[in-house]
Amino acid sequence: MQSVQHFGLKNHFLLAMPHLEDPNFAGSLSYLCDHDEKGTMGVIVNRPLELTLNALFEQLELDADESPHRHAPVYYGGPTHKDRGFILHRGASDAWDSSIQVADDIALTTSMDILQALANGKGPEQFLVCLGCAGWESGQLEAELKENAWLTVEGRADILFTVPPEQRLGAAAGILGVDLNLMTREAGHS
């Protein structure tokens, strides 16, 4: 009998279980932007780097002296493509050159035009700029879920954009009514 795979994790949070020891993902909350037969892609949303958007603007030689976004943190988005920017934001994807709509009100953009807009004090009001992303090959995430490495819950814009980064993992776990500090590796399988 062949197993049927379901690809419904787009627009979901991926919560690292306390026993997950991979330094790239321990204690992380990821937001999944794409999930299909080819694999899964997302960004870690609770790890601000010691880097502000102003430093990124300077590195990219964007004039941002008047930008109200200069002091926004830049996040570690994951171990893949660490030299690329992934901007998770509220709103539609069709305003930007290279963007995908993840949910009705959340898009992921990778094109330079959104950074230029932010440098000019324009662009989306709510956003997270991430360096790098997280990726799983086809079937890899599903296998890790079976091993109880992760919990999943539908993503929420308020947790992404209004909850402080250090509280996002707990807030996402709260949707499920769980306290990750009380979780163990031994979980039941049905």
Looking up residue 56, the CATH number of its domain turns out to be 3.40.1740.10
Closest CA to 99 of 121, 83, 72, 117: 117
Q: What is the pTM of this model?
A: 0.90
Q: Is residue 174 part of a domain?
A: yes
| Predicted pLDDT at 180 | 80
User: Domain range for residue 64?
Assistant: 12-178
Buried b (16+ CB within 10 A) or exposed e, 163-180: bebeebbbbbbeeeeeeb
| Predicted pLDDT at 150 | 93
| Predicted pLDDT at 91 | 87
| Predicted pLDDT at 6 | 52
Extended beta strands in 77-161, E state: 80-90, 99-103, 106-109, 127-137, 150-154
In sequence order, the β-bridge partners of residue 127 are 89
Closest CA to 29 of 13, 18, 40: 13
Q: What is the CA radius of gyration of the chain?
A: 17
| Predicted pLDDT at 185 | 52
Q: Is residue 82 part of a domain?
A: yes
Q: Is residue 3 part of a domain?
A: no
In sequence order, the β-bridge partners of residue 76 are 131
Say how many domains are in the chain: 1
Instruction: Read off the tokens for 134.
Output: 């997280």
Contact 120, 167 (CB under 8 A): no
Local confidence pLDDT in tens for the 190 residues of the chain: 333 345 589 999 999 999 888 999 999 999 999 999 899 999 999 999 999 999 999 999 999 988 999 999 999 999 999 889 999 999 887 889 999 999 999 999 999 999 999 999 999 999 999 999 999 999 999 999 999 899 999 999 999 999 999 999 999 999 999 888 776 555 444 4
Contact 43, 77 (CB under 8 A): yes
Q: Is residue 77 part of a domain?
A: yes
Who's near 100: CB < 8 A, 6+ residues apart?
A: 33, 34, 93, 107, 108
Q: Is residue 4 part of a domain?
A: no
In whole angstroms, give the CA distance from residue 66 to residue 83: 25
Contact 102, 12 (CB under 8 A): no
